[in-house]
Every structure is written in C-alpha cells, then in structure tokens.
Amino acid sequence: MRDCRMLIGGEWREAASGATFESINPFTGKAWARVPRAAAEDVDHAVRAARVAFMSPAWRGLNATQRGKLLTKLGDLVARDADALAELETRDNGKLINEMRAQLRYMPEWFRYFGGLADKIEGRVIPIDRPGMFNYTLEEPLGVVAAITPWNSPLMLGAWKLAPALAAGNTFVWKPSEYTSVSALEFGKLIEEAGIPPGVVNIVTGYGHEIGEALVGHELVAKVAFTGGDATGAAVYQTAARGIKPVTLELGGKSANIVFADADFDNAVKGVVSGIFAATGQTCVAGSRALVQRPIYEKFLEAFVAFAKTARMGDPLDTATQVGPITTEPQYRKVLDYIGIAKQEGARCVLGGGPAKRSECGAGLFVEPTVFADVTPSMRIAQEEVFGPVLAVIPFEDEEEAIRIANGSIYGLAAGVWTKDIARCLKMAGRLEAGTIWINTYRVSSYLSPFGGYKRSGFGRESGLLAIREYLQEKSVWIDASGETPNPFVTR
Ligand code: TXE
C-alpha cells in the first residue's frame, strides 16, 4: 500500500482528523493506495495558504518572465517523469497505459505554452475622449483559483487549469477526484522541484460531497474551474453564484459522429470506433451517437461491428490491450443500467450488451463494447451521457435531418463529420451546435486550440490563447494629467 500526503502551504500533510480512504485499482479490484480524507478544516488551511502565497513577495514579486520560466521548468520535469506518472494513472483509473503515456508525454506542452504566454499578457492604452485624461488597462490575476477535476484524465485536466492560472499570476487549490488522487499528489512533488514557491499550488484530496462545497464556497476563493458531470457542475455553479465568483465548467456531452454516404468508408469506421471505444468510452468527447446515412447504414453497421469485435480487452498495463475496465463501481453500474434501459426502449443490440466475462478481464469491472442500432433520437440512450463503451446508432436521410438530430441534444461539446464534400464540411461546421467540430477525424486536441462546450456541456474555454483570459481580470486606470481638477458642482 502506498501512503499519500496532501500538499498544503508547501508541507506534506495528513488530514487534520487523520482520516484516510483507499484508492482502488479498477483492474485488480484491490486497494493500492491510502489517501488523506480532507474535511472543511483542511480545505480552509489550503485556501488560506494559497491566499497568503498570492500576496507574498515570493510569488507577487516575480516578474512575468520569471513566472513563465517556472512553468517551463515544470513542463520539463513532467516530460522527465511522464511514463512513471502515466503508470500511476493507469493503476488508479484503469485507462490504457498507451493512452496515459501519450497524454503525459504531451502534457508538458501546456506548461511550455502558457509559460511562454506569461510575459505576453499586455494591457491597453485607450484613446480616451476626455482632454488631459490618460486611460490604460492592467491585466491582473483573480486570486485563489479552486480547481475540481474528474477521474478520466486526472493530470491532464488539472494541467489545463493550472498552467493558464499560474501564468496569469493566480495561486491554486486543486481537488482531484477521490477515485484518482495519487498522480496529482505525485505531481505535487514536481511543483516543489520546479521551485514554485510554497503555497502557490495546494492539493487537497477527499470526497466531493464532503469538501466540494467548502472549497467552492470559501470566501477567499476567487474563481472556480470545474470538469465533471453536469449535475455536479450545476451544484458547483450554484455555490459559486452565492459568492459571485466566475466559473468555468466542462461538463461532458452526447456527441454526434455523423457519417455521410460519400465518406471514406474505412476511415469513418475507424473514426467512429475510436470515438466511442477509446478510453472505454469514458471521455467527455465520446462520440456516443453515430448518425449514419441510410444508403450505407446496414453496410456500416456490419463493418463497424466486425471491427469492434477485434478489440482486445484486458490488463490496462499491458500495451496490447485495446479496451480497459470501467474506472469506478458506480460508473460500472450506471453503464449496465443504460444498457438495460436501451433494451427496454426497443433499441436493437448488435454487439455486446452486458458485463465482459472474458478470462483476460480478471476481477476488473469490464463491460463488453456495446452497439445499439435503430436508435431513435428521443430514446434515453440517444439523449443521456452514459460515459462508457456504449454506442447508439441512428439512421438519417439528408444533411438537414443529420443537423436536426445532432443538435437535438441538451449537450454541445463536440461533433464529428465524415464526408468528402468540402461544401458539406463547411455547412456542417457552421450549423452544428458544439464547441469542437472534427471533420474526417475525431478526438484530436492541442494546447493551441480552444476546447469547451456549447449548451449544457458548459462554458469557458481551456487551451489556446484566449484560455488565459479565464484567469485574468481587467482593470481600468484613469489619470488626470491636466493638473486642473474641475469644479465638482459643474457637470462636465
Ligand atoms: O463525476 P462528478 P462522477 C460524468 C459521467 C459520469 C458522471 C458522474 O457521465 O457518469 O459525470 O461521474 C467532485 N461540489 N462525467 O460522479 O461528481 C468530485 O469529487 C464540488 C463527465 O465521478 O462530476 C470530482 O473531483 N465538487 C466528466 C469532480 O467533482 C464535487 C468526467 C467530478 O465528479 C461535488 C467525469 C460537489 N458537491 C464524469 N461532488 C467529463 N466532463 O469529462 C463531487 N465533486
């Protein structure tokens, strides 16, 4: 058993109460790490430490270039330790080691990009319409940022918030998911090694329902950045509203992957398979609705099922494995419940449809890659986020119907389009209501390009140039350079 501590004010601490909880490896089903179970008191210590750091000369006294260099250094350390961190994540969340390695090896780019951006944050001089007056703006940090992240990409989703927040000069309190705290705590050691001053980054571990509100509602928290389910996101938003705090929310979706009859058939099959079965469907951008044009509908289903059947399940630490376990017990039950609901609703199950009982799955929480055909847009399996390896396939006639079905969702995180027709590409990109549109590809992302939701998938953007704005506030400074203060009783 690995014993972990939280990082608060530059110290490695247990919870004040001494309480802990266990982290379970979803493949073996066994506890492998013991993690501090923070309470409101610990959260208070962490937020206060972050506030002290925010005001401290050690952090405030750094110029933007120096701040940026610390982030660049942190990126280099993550690059050095990427494979070791990836292994921790796989043990904690059961995602494939190949995927976690790729994610961790790419993650340094966020620190380098935002580190480079730190000293390019500039104010403006306004050509003000008052004689003798000089008006300019300052771009300032907000203060203490509270970040709350889920279990599917533990470090990556933290990095997307941490890098711009620190580049802008804020300090940070991070609560990773209770299912996957270990990699965040290990990452905390790199924060220290990079020379980031104590208290600038604090990591508290515990259950969302126990400490989430204490963190979001804390009077010294100035901004909240959240990734997770939409019900929790709504609760976080309400708590933040009581304190009039800005929030960014990334809340998952029910993304449509639309295949037209003129698409490159084999590429589309691969794209739809990777859209739903990569990460065992446990990804916010999962292409969980495949919309397939009628002329190729049956042929597509057949090819898709044949290809999906070849997926190797098993130990996520084995590089040959292609589909891993479900990360948590509640999520496992949720996925199986949705499979039951889809069957009751009359969807035609053409692949999988239950727990995976294969010998290579061991004691893990595995669900067979599952495909439902002849789904109608109003079925729950076509409307609600499953967050597992379950695809709903819906036939359509033409562009207009595809757009209507794709947009007929409360969510709007991403959409995929497969076609060779350039005019259609442009039309679909313009009319689909989603924050990311992938055409003849799926699931690519970069530190350079904005990511975030439309509709109930949330708001605010992560990555890309403008993401830094989520962590800044603009101050307007007026200077009367005329030397003549006017008579206050005469209106100007
Ligand atoms: O996520 P939660 P859960 C979806 C997916 C899944 C569902 C629930 O459909 O089935 O959400 O998953 C913290 N105040 N996604 O329960 O609850 C919690 O501790 C403040 C989509 O695992 O959203 C964790 O750190 N925080 C998604 C974080 O919120 C609270 C990724 C996310 O947990 C809190 C994961 C509270 N009251 C699940 N309650 C995506 N968009 O990628 C919990 N938390």
What's the average pLDDT block by block, 10 residues per block, for the chain (492 residues)?
97 98 95 98 98 98 98 98 98 96 98 98 96 96 98 97 98 98 98 98 98 98 97 98 98 97 98 96 97 98 96 96 95 98 98 95 94 98 98 98 98 98 98 98 97 98 98 98 91 73
| C-alpha span between 370 and 354 (Å, rounded) | 8
| C-alpha span between 424 and 104 (Å, rounded) | 36
| C-alpha span between 154 and 182 (Å, rounded) | 9
Active site residues: 250, 284
3-state DSSP assignment of residue 317? coil
Strands (E), 267-413: 289-293, 348-351, 370-373, 390-396, 411-412
DSSP H/E element including 146 = strand 144-148
pTM, two decimals, is 0.97
Q: Is the CB of 146 under 6 A from ligand 1?
A: no
| C-alpha span between 417 and 394 (Å, rounded) | 14
For residue 454, give both structure tokens. 């439309």
280 secondary structure, DSSP code = G
| C-alpha span between 390 and 355 (Å, rounded) | 12
| C-alpha span between 323 and 481 (Å, rounded) | 67
Strands (E), 238-285: 247-250, 256-259
For residue 203, the CA-to-ligand 1 centroid distance in Å is 17
Question: What phi, psi does 398 have (nearest 5°)?
Answer: -145, 180
Contacts 24+ apart (CB under 8 A), 186-193: 186/81, 186/84, 186/85, 186/88, 187/78, 187/85, 187/155, 187/158, 188/7, 190/74, 190/77, 190/78, 190/81, 191/7, 191/74, 192/7, 192/10, 193/77
Nearest CA to ligand 1 atom 42: 284
For residue 353, the CA-to-ligand 1 centroid distance in Å is 25
Contact indicator for 226, 205 with CB cutoff of 8 Å: no
Q: Is the CB of 212 under 6 A from ligand 1?
A: yes
Q: Is the CB of 111 under 6 A from ligand 1?
A: no
Contact indicator for 369, 321 with CB cutoff of 8 Å: no
For residue 133, the CA-to-ligand 1 centroid distance in Å is 50
Contact indicator for 292, 396 with CB cutoff of 8 Å: yes
Q: Is the CB of 281 under 6 A from ligand 1?
A: no
For residue 213, the CA-to-ligand 1 centroid distance in Å is 13
**What pLDDT, on the 0 to 100 scale, is given for residue 54?**
98
**What pLDDT, on the 0 to 100 scale, is given for residue 402?**
98
Nearest CA to ligand 1 atom 13: 208
3-state DSSP assignment of residue 177? coil
| C-alpha span between 206 and 20 (Å, rounded) | 8
User: How far is residue 80 CA from its own chain's centroid?
Assistant: 23
Q: Is the CB of 352 under 6 A from ligand 1?
A: no
| C-alpha span between 60 and 42 (Å, rounded) | 24
For residue 231, the CA-to-ligand 1 centroid distance in Å is 8
**What pLDDT, on the 0 to 100 scale, is given for residue 486?**
87
- 3-state helix, strand and coil shares in percent for the chain, rounded to the nearest 5: 40, 20, 35
State which of 21, 92, 232, 336 you would mutate to test the pocket of ligand 1, scoring each by most atoms of that ligand within 8 A of its C-beta: 232
Q: Is 320 exposed, middle or buried (0-12, 13-18, 19+ CB in 10 A)?
A: exposed
Q: Write out the DSSP string of 5-56.
A: -EEETTEEE--TT--EEEEEPTTT--EEEEEE---HHHHHHHHHHHHHHHHS
For residue 70, the CA-to-ligand 1 centroid distance in Å is 30
488 secondary structure, DSSP code = T
In ligand 1, the atom with minimum distance to the C-alpha of 235 is 37
Q: Is the CB of 178 under 6 A from ligand 1?
A: yes
**What pLDDT, on the 0 to 100 scale, is given for residue 21?**
98
Q: SS in 3 state form for 88-131?
A: HHHHHHCCCHHHHHHHHHHCHHHHHHHHHHHHHCCCCEECCCCC
**What pLDDT, on the 0 to 100 scale, is given for residue 491?**
80
Q: Is the CB of 201 under 6 A from ligand 1?
A: no
The amino acid sitting at 427 is K
| C-alpha span between 154 and 169 (Å, rounded) | 23
Residue 80: how many other CB atoms lie within 10 Å: 13
Contact indicator for 29, 59 with CB cutoff of 8 Å: no
